[in-house]
């Protein structure tokens, strides 16, 4: 018996589509080049099977759901799911958490939560199907209880909603801000709703001026409070339960050197050409104090040491009191006088004049 070959109406011309004149109702026509099959219902031509130009379906399910109003069909690379459109959720963060299960444990709470239909669950390294677990955005529930010490991994994504980033203003181009407005070029991020304002002159908190910024230096003005811990320059840390600096003008250069005038508490300190002044803003020596200097306790501390002595001591009257005696040496024009403060007596030193060449030289 001879073989019978059945062939459809066909064309090898790319893009050629039949019409109701060339195809009868129910008749088939094939474009071999486009790989598209057509038929007719008498009033129009429609496509059949694969490589369709248009497709009409009653509905699409993903992971057993038709989704919610306004959602779109998307994929995370391992599964297809319904998700909110980009108008309300514009970013996502990766979620990963590893659990060590207890005997018969079925529920595992994921820190920070996750987006439903955007997670995969692995049991001792084996990927679970969607019928073997469920999730509610916070808790993953296994269909069957786990064995003791079984490893349960949750991998997926969490959509970030705009409301979760409320109060954060990301400025992608601007070297200065005024109330959060870009003024030029550069990159900066500001917590706009936290009372922080940045512009080309400095940083402000609740309208209180904190700092001006310049290359290789920072100048702090008015007042600033550092609590618990503050770090300056390269790892130099000041740590205390409470340290408050009321700073009228403190300049710190790139080497960490303080210059100008600064105030701690009610005391003012001045730095000028390497000289430090306490109570004076024009120190002419390495240390100049406008006031009394006393030890913290009596008869306890030394001025100099046996190997490090002061060269000259400049004083008016010299008062001596070691707890036993109490004397004062007073200069006269030609004599030295010794007052015994305990006895109320006064003595004069018996001085003998000698040739200056016989005396040791004075210190410079």
- Is residue 202 within 8 A of residue 214, CB to CB? The reply is no
- Is residue 38 within 8 A of residue 58, CB to CB? The reply is no
State the pTM of this model.
Answer: 0.31
80 and 44 within one domain: no
111 and 41 within one domain: no
Structural domain boundaries enclosing 27 = 9-48
101 and 18 within one domain: no
User: So what's the pLDDT on residue 51?
Assistant: 60
Domain assignment of residue 321, yes or no: yes
130 and 78 within one domain: yes
User: So what's the pLDDT on residue 66?
Assistant: 78
Domain assignment of residue 251, yes or no: no
> Of 164, 180, 213, which residue sits at a domain end?
164
Per-residue pLDDT of the chain (364 residues; tens, 9 = 90+): 566 788 888 898 988 889 988 889 989 999 888 888 889 998 888 888 766 666 667 677 777 677 777 777 777 666 777 777 654 444 677 889 999 999 999 999 999 888 887 889 999 989 898 889 999 989 999 999 999 999 999 998 887 654 444 433 343 333 334 444 434 443 344 444 445 555 555 555 544 434 444 444 444 444 445 444 444 444 444 444 444 443 344 555 555 555 556 666 566 677 767 788 888 878 888 888 888 989 989 888 888 898 998 888 888 898 888 888 999 999 988 889 999 999 999 999 888 888 888 888 877 6
Domain assignment of residue 364, yes or no: yes
108 and 149 within one domain: yes
75 and 27 within one domain: no
Domain assignment of residue 320, yes or no: yes
286 vs 231: CA distance, rounded Å:
28
User: So what's the pLDDT on residue 98?
Assistant: 94
151 and 105 within one domain: yes
Domain assignment of residue 80, yes or no: yes
38 and 76 within one domain: no
User: So what's the pLDDT on residue 337?
Assistant: 92
> Of 164, 188, 216, which residue sits at a domain end?
164
75 and 35 within one domain: no
Domain assignment of residue 2, yes or no: no
95 and 40 within one domain: no
**19 backbone dihedrals φ, ψ, rounded to 5°:** -130, 180
Look at the chain and report how many structural domains it folds into.
3
């Amino acid at each position: 018996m001879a073989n019978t070959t059945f062939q459809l109406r066909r064309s090898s011309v790319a893009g050629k589509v039949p019409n109701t004149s060339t195809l009868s109702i129910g008749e088939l026509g094939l474009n071999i080049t486009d790989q598209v099959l057509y038929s007719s219902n008498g009033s129009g031509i429609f496509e059949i099977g694969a490589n369709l130009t248009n497709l009409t379906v009653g509905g699409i399910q993903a992971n057993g759901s038709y989704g919610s109003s306004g959602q779109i069909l998307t994929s995370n690379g391992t599964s297809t799911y319904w998700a909110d459109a980009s108008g309300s959720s514009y970013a996502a963060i990766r979620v990963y958490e590893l659990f060590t299960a207890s005997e018969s444990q079925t529920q595992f709470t994921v820190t920070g939560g996750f987006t439903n239909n955007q997670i995969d669950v692995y049991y001792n390294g084996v990927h679970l199907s969607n019928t073997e677990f469920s999730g509610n955005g916070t808790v993953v529930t296994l269909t069957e209880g786990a064995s003791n010490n079984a490893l349960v991994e949750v991998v997926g994504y969490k959509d970030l909603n705009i409301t979760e980033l409320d109060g954060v203003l990301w400025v992608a181009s601007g070297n200065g801000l005024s109330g959060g407005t870009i003024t030029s070029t550069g990159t900066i991020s500001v917590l706009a709703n936290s009372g922080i304002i940045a512009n080309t002159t400095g940083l402000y908190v609740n309208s209180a001026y904190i700092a001006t910024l310049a290359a290789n230096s920072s100048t702090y003005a008015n007042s600033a409070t550092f609590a618990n811990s503050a770090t300056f320059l390269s790892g130099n840390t000041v740590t205390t339960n409470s340290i408050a600096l009321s700073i009228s003008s403190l300049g710190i250069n790139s080497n960490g050197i303080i210059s100008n005038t600064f105030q701690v508490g009610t005391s003012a300190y001045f730095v000028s050409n390497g000289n430090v002044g306490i109570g004076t803003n024009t120190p002419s020596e390495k240390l100049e104090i406008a006031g009394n200097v006393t030890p913290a306790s009596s008869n306890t501390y030394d001025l100099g040491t046996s190997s490090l002595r002061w060269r000259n001591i400049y004083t008016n009257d010299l008062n001596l009191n070691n707890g036993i005696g109490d004397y004062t040496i007073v200069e006269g024009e030609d004599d030295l006088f010794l007052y015994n403060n305990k006895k109320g007596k006064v003595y004069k030193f018996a001085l003998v004049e000698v040739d200056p060449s016989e005396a040791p030289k004075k210190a410079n």
